[in-house]
Structure 1
Amino acid sequence: MPEIPHVALLVETSREYARGLLRGVARYQQEYGPWSIYFEPHGLDDPPPDWLSDWKGHGILARINSRETAEKILATGIPAVDVRGALPDLSIPFIGVDNRPVAQLGYEHLRNLGLRSFAFCGTPRGENPNQDNRCDWFVELVEQGGQACDVWLGAQSKQHAATWEEQQQDMARWLRNLPKPVGIMTCHDDRGQQLLDACRRANLSVPDEVAVISVDNDPYLCNICTPPLSSIDVNPSRIGFAAAELLGRMMQGEQPERQVTTLGPPRGIAARRSTEMLAIDDEDVAAALRYIREHATEGIRASQVVSRAAKAPSTLERRFKKTLGRTIKAEITRVKLSRARLLLTETEYPIATIAERAGFAEAKYFCEVFRKHHNATATEYRRRFRDE
């Protein structure tokens, strides 16, 4: 009988992203194990455990956040996979988030609110490459859209790190100087919570003056914010599963083809009150957009939306497209597909039921539209992105 692999998980449990990674590892282990798991709850910045130096296991999966931890893992000579990506020069393969579609999803969500001013709130450059990339992609998307993007990254070095109060005051000053209304994407939920606090200090209304979206979708942190924080779900379970899969191959002697592997796109947006606003001057367009978002899943048609215009219904379609860059019909389809994606990933409903609840008259037509927009069938999408 072959020996059961002994695998050490050096992953914290304090945030939803890391817990999602562990769920993915657990799913892989249940399907392809068994593994004997060495796991002790700890924090991201905790030193490596003392037992690691003499450990005689077969594989390590870790959120490596310090050079000390990296060196201790490398010294074991045991196959290892990093799921943090804080040290880009490591000779340990990394699996993580593809930050380009994450930034695109955040930008499009804010732009769809009718906003034309944007900013990014992140962490000091060099602190984490993933957060740097997230910022860079967001800025590029904003600039491609013809706008400038303000950026706040905080203190640039740990030697001169500001206190919490100093940092909050600096962030509040930055917020006061931004054009309003403004849509801000933050690098993660921790920064999003901090930004909302700074908005209160600056006497700025969220979301009316400042709409905020963050990344990681930690439900506990997002829902204790005032107001609750919209956030992008990057599907960490999928990343944990892929990391465990790679580690399994490495423990069998396979060498990874790439040092860095990014998985995407993200699962979607958990929209909460921090982005519940519409920054549209045209009252008819704003009313049409609000009506679509409230009733798209009821199977409404573009003609119904046009007929509700208080002034000049004959020009509403043209004004709508000029304001949002797409037709009324396209917006109805976009909202319906957004609902369908959520149902695919969070329910057991069959495809026909999902089509009906998303506002499509026929399941066959829904499947055709879904495949056209996502380059995958609804069933494939569910299998790929669902957090089982």
Structure 2
Amino acid sequence: MFTQIPKVILAIEDSSSYCRDLIKGISRYARVHGPWSIYRDIHDSSYLHGRNYRKEFYEHLQDIEADGLITRSPKRTMKLTRKGIPTIVAITESKAVGDFPKLQINHIAVGEMAAKYFLEKGYKNFAFYGDTKYLWTKMRYKGFRNIVEKSRCSLTCYDPPPAKTIMQKGFGYKINHIADWLSSLEKPIAVMASSDAWAVNVIEAARIAGINIPEQLSLIGVDNDVPICDTCFPQLSSIHLNSEQAGFKIAELLDRIMKGEKTYEHIVKVEPVQVITRVSTDTLAVEDEDVVTAMRYIRAMKREPVQITEVAEEAAVSLRTLQKKFKENLNSTILDEIKRTRINYIKELLLNTDMSITKVSDFLYFSGTNSFSRYFKANTGYSPLEYRKKYGRY
């Protein structure tokens, strides 16, 4: 056991929401189970004092006499890890020497979630925007492609110009290159960008090309970086990762290692949790007005246990006809869509509110918490409480 407060170094930049959420999770663990004395990398390249502080931070790491290290810069922190300081490497593309526990994003699952989301909206044409020379981008594309190809839909991947050419010709050339690519794609098109930051380029290029979002081009990013997503025009839909939960888990793992416990968990996964829908995907790639009317009704009634006969009545067609149209346009049944919409809404309440399980059950007009829990577990494999503990913030 420690006789004094353990010193922990976080070599994690804070320039993205993903990293900031990791830091939140780590600091939350330290508050609850600590205290820890945390020494943190500051990513503040906009100001001279920030750049100088960051340089000094890495130059003087060994002076700290740390008890533990969580790093996204394994090359810069290699001297510490070679000294045997308990270390967790928190970056996918790490080539760090040694058998360290690692934090890794399930990039393939991220791509799969984006593809499934678009398929549920009826899209047949898909595109991926990113640079697959980066491992994380390549893996997200692989997951996206796996689902699209299984559905026998069309898929195009952006081929960026050489970085040297972009440096020579400037940002305008880059955006126009993307605009030309977007113009060549068959519409309506569902586009996954490798991250929210990359999605911003697609929005600007679409504006230049005169392509309407989301009517002609539906766009999704990754990270749910709220300052980026909310300031885009239109606002950007994005995949939310359980980064804060993962930060809490790696802090817990590091704590056990620092205390001399044997651990067998060498990889902690960051998983995609849900798509946060904003304007950039708020549409259906379906031309059949009866299906569109039915889906609008299902979404509007997501709080209530809707019957398929009610949906058919709202669409003013026979149940048999509407079932056939759902199969043709969405490759699913009316009941499938009712369940999917309702389950997604339940997930949203569990993850983004502090409502108790009982309150969520009452809010959604279930007869009781037992029937609510059975319904949710039958459709997700988790009880509501298990799901909230695994992915939620509260």
- Structure-2-length-normalised TM-score: 0.89
Once residues 193 and 306 of structure 2 are traced to their aligned partners in structure 1, the CA distance between those partners, rounded to angstroms, is: 34
1:124–1:155 CA contact under 8 A, matched in 2:
no
- Once the two structures are superposed, the pairs formed by residues 13-32 of structure 1 within 5 Å of their partners are 13-32=14-33
Matched, 1:79 2:79: no
1:371–1:378 CA contact under 8 A, matched in 2:
yes
- SS of the counterpart of 1:280? coil
Q: Structure 2, unaligned stretches of length 5 or more?
A: 46-50
| Partner in structure 1 of residue 60 of structure 2 | 51
Once residues 132 and 340 of structure 2 are traced to their aligned partners in structure 1, the CA distance between those partners, rounded to angstroms, is: 35
- How far apart are residue 353 of structure 1 and its match? 2.1
Amino acid at match of 1:364: N
Once residues 279 and 349 of structure 1 are traced to their aligned partners in structure 2, the CA distance between those partners, rounded to angstroms, is: 34
Structure 1 stretches (4+) deviating beyond 6 angstroms? none
Matched, 1:193 2:211: no
2:376–2:384 CA contact under 8 A, matched in 1:
yes
| Partner in structure 1 of residue 172 of structure 2 | 165
- How far apart are residue 256 of structure 1 and its match? 5.5
- How far apart are residue 164 of structure 1 and its match? 2.1
Per-residue CA shift, 1:310-329, capped at 9, x if unaligned?
45554111221232222112
State which of 72, 76, 85 in structure 2 corresponds to 1:69: 76
- How far apart are residue 364 of structure 1 and its match? 2.7
Once residues 188 and 217 of structure 1 are traced to their aligned partners in structure 2, the CA distance between those partners, rounded to angstroms, is: 9
Distance 1:312 1:369, change over 3 A: closer
- Structure-1-length-normalised TM-score: 0.91
Per-residue CA shift, 1:197-241, capped at 9, x if unaligned?
111111100000100011100111100001000001101101111
Once residues 70 and 43 of structure 1 are traced to their aligned partners in structure 2, the CA distance between those partners, rounded to angstroms, is: 19
Once residues 311 and 337 of structure 1 are traced to their aligned partners in structure 2, the CA distance between those partners, rounded to angstroms, is: 26
Per-residue CA shift, 1:344-367, capped at 9, x if unaligned?
112222223212333545433221
Give the percent of matched residue pairs that are identical in Structure 1 and Structure 2: 29
Once residues 243 and 261 of structure 2 are traced to their aligned partners in structure 1, the CA distance between those partners, rounded to angstroms, is: 24
- Of the structure 1 ranges 230-239 and 88-97, higher mean CA displacement relative to structure 2 is found in 88-97
Amino acid at match of 1:59: G
Amino acid at match of 2:185: L
- How far apart are residue 257 of structure 1 and its match? 3.8
State which of 107, 116, 131 in structure 2 corresponds to 1:99: 107
Distance 1:263 1:39, change over 3 A: closer
| Partner in structure 2 of residue 182 of structure 1 | 189
- Of the structure 1 ranges 350-359 and 168-177, higher mean CA displacement relative to structure 2 is found in 350-359
Per-residue CA shift, 1:235-264, capped at 9, x if unaligned?
110111122122222223456546544243
Q: How many residues align?
A: 382
Matched, 1:119 2:120: no
Once residues 335 and 317 of structure 2 are traced to their aligned partners in structure 1, the CA distance between those partners, rounded to angstroms, is: 20
Once residues 157 and 25 of structure 2 are traced to their aligned partners in structure 1, the CA distance between those partners, rounded to angstroms, is: 34
| Partner in structure 2 of residue 225 of structure 1 | 232
Matched, 1:352 2:358: yes
Matched, 1:383 2:389: yes
| Partner in structure 1 of residue 136 of structure 2 | 130
- How far apart are residue 96 of structure 1 and its match? 2.3
- How far apart are residue 69 of structure 1 and its match? 1.9
1:186–1:192 CA contact under 8 A, matched in 2:
yes
Q: Structure 1, unaligned stretches of length 5 or more?
A: none
1:296–1:359 CA contact under 8 A, matched in 2:
no
- Of the structure 1 ranges 49-58 and 115-124, higher mean CA displacement relative to structure 2 is found in 49-58
- SS of the counterpart of 2:157? strand
| Partner in structure 2 of residue 273 of structure 1 | 279
- Of the structure 1 ranges 41-50 and 313-322, higher mean CA displacement relative to structure 2 is found in 41-50
Superposed CA RMSD: 2.3
2:127–2:157 CA contact under 8 A, matched in 1:
yes
- Once the two structures are superposed, the pairs formed by residues 315-330 of structure 1 within 5 Å of their partners are 315-330=321-336
- How far apart are residue 195 of structure 1 and its match? 1.1
